[in-house]
Amino acid sequence: MDFTKPKASDASPNSQPAAWALSTQFASAPSGPGVAGGRDPAPSPFDVCHVGVVLRVVMGSQGVVALGVAYLANTPMDAVHRWSQSTVLTLPASLLWLLVACASKRWLARVSDQWQWVFATALGALCGWLSQVQAALLEQAFTGAMPVWGWPQMPAMLTGASMAAVALAWLRHRAHSQLPAHSAARLAELQARIRPHFLFNTLNTAIALVQIDPQRAEAVLEDLAELFRQALSSPSLRTTLDAEVDLAKRYLSIEALRFGDRVTVRWELDEDAGCAEVPALILQPLVENAVRHGIEVSPQGGWIVVRTKVQSGRAVLTVSNSLPLAQPTQSTAGHGIALRNVRQRLRLMHDVEADFDAGLQRSADPHQPPVYVVKVVVPMPRKEGRS
């Protein structure tokens, strides 16, 4: 059962590029701290301190190793055995190259392209040499054979330099062309797609409130004006979790006036998680779904709980809501557009470091109705002085 609908709204504490830029997908890259003139500085190809980059480099190098040793194998099991033995040497070398590149990225950003290539290939050759030394020492420990120095280390050094050159070529392509441009355009497209729903839905809510209780109209319209301002004014595609929480509070304050005692909202917020970066307009559609599919369709009303916390170096956001006792019809169950939009924007911004999960959670008590829970996990920003 899907409890989302196409009307999912968003409100961004930091808004987005101009409408013409969004519609044509020629929006500028997200601006951020320390960015002059609202544009990001040229990205460094050695910015490899991310789980997604590490996984791709390691898996790519191990794939090449697996193909190489397969030529010498007589059977598939022999190939797997040879590959597992090679991994003992090649995996530490790959991780060492990534670790040193990550630690040196600030210095490398200031040198010329030629010196970047020299550094990358020389570091690859050094890592290859160290892996061969490791192999010789392991052989000596197990068999007692004395290591031979000289030519036996040269193939490993040449292989390490070659693999490092290939990795740098991919990292440069990733940093300067394909990924940032595509991600910015795709983020802008997703933001543009969901923003009109948010504006229209919030305006309809305000109209309904004016009809129900004109005395509260002024406060409602003030919140509505702030929601519109944040959704339309800022050129950024990203914001902080604190700003998203503030925006969601404004939206839920409007809905609380509309539904009165039918809705109960509880906030359990960790201040340390507030600085985590998330795509703009990401929390409001989640709480709107909770209202429309948990509160609005239930004659008895219901509750919404929004929690944030820091866990294992990552910010965890959960939005939980009660569900109506009666089975919703297909017309009110929704199509999951809002959740897919949120999931895609998280993946574009944080790659594999982000996690998104949504679904029913049932209690051990069969008489208790299920609860719908959306969980968003994003990395915490790295502290100054760390890579």
283-299 pLDDT, tens digit each: 988 998 898 888 888 88
Under the banding of pLDDT at 50, 70 and 90, the label for residue 43 is low
More confident residue, 155 or 30: 155
Asked whether 241 and 269 are in contact (CB, 8 A), the reply is: no
State the pLDDT at residue 10: 39
My answer on whether 209 and 83 are in the same domain is no
Give φ, ψ of 302 to 5 degrees: 180, -160
My answer on whether 169 and 68 are in the same domain is yes
- pLDDT tens digits along 319-341: 999 988 765 554 445 557 778 88
State the pLDDT at residue 103: 86
What is the crossing angle of helices 178-212 and 217-232, to 10°? 170
My answer on whether 354 and 230 are in the same domain is yes
Q: Which domain holds residue 252?
A: 19-24+186-379
Under the banding of pLDDT at 50, 70 and 90, the label for residue 317 is very high
- pLDDT tens digits along 184-224: 555 555 555 555 666 676 677 677 767 776 767 677 777 77
Residue 14 lies in a domain: no
Average pLDDT along the chain: 76
State the pLDDT at residue 23: 32
More confident residue, 317 or 381: 317
My answer on whether 141 and 238 are in the same domain is no
My answer on whether 235 and 191 are in the same domain is yes
Count of CB atoms situated within 10 Å of the CB of 72: 9
Among residues 129, 149, 176, the one where a domain terminates is: 176
My answer on whether 129 and 221 are in the same domain is no
Query: Rounded to an integer, what distance in angstroms lies between the CA atom of residue 281 and that of residue 287?
Result: 11
Q: Is beta strand 314-322 parallel, antiparallel or unpaired with respect to 371-379?
A: antiparallel
Least reliable range by pLDDT among 183-187, 306-310, 366-370: 183-187
- pLDDT tens digits along 59-88: 888 888 888 888 888 888 988 888 888 888
My answer on whether 88 and 149 are in the same domain is yes
Asked whether 198 and 341 are in contact (CB, 8 A), the reply is: no
Under the banding of pLDDT at 50, 70 and 90, the label for residue 251 is confident
State the pLDDT at residue 385: 46
Q: Is the pLDDT of residue 373 over 90?
A: yes
Q: Locate tokens 């500085």: which residue?
A: 41
Number of domains in the chain: 2
Least reliable range by pLDDT among 17-21, 98-102, 135-139, 230-234: 17-21
For residue 351, give the DSSP letter: G
H or E segment at 362? Answer: none
Residue 6 lies in a domain: no
My answer on whether 136 and 253 are in the same domain is no
Q: Is the pLDDT of residue 27 over 80?
A: no
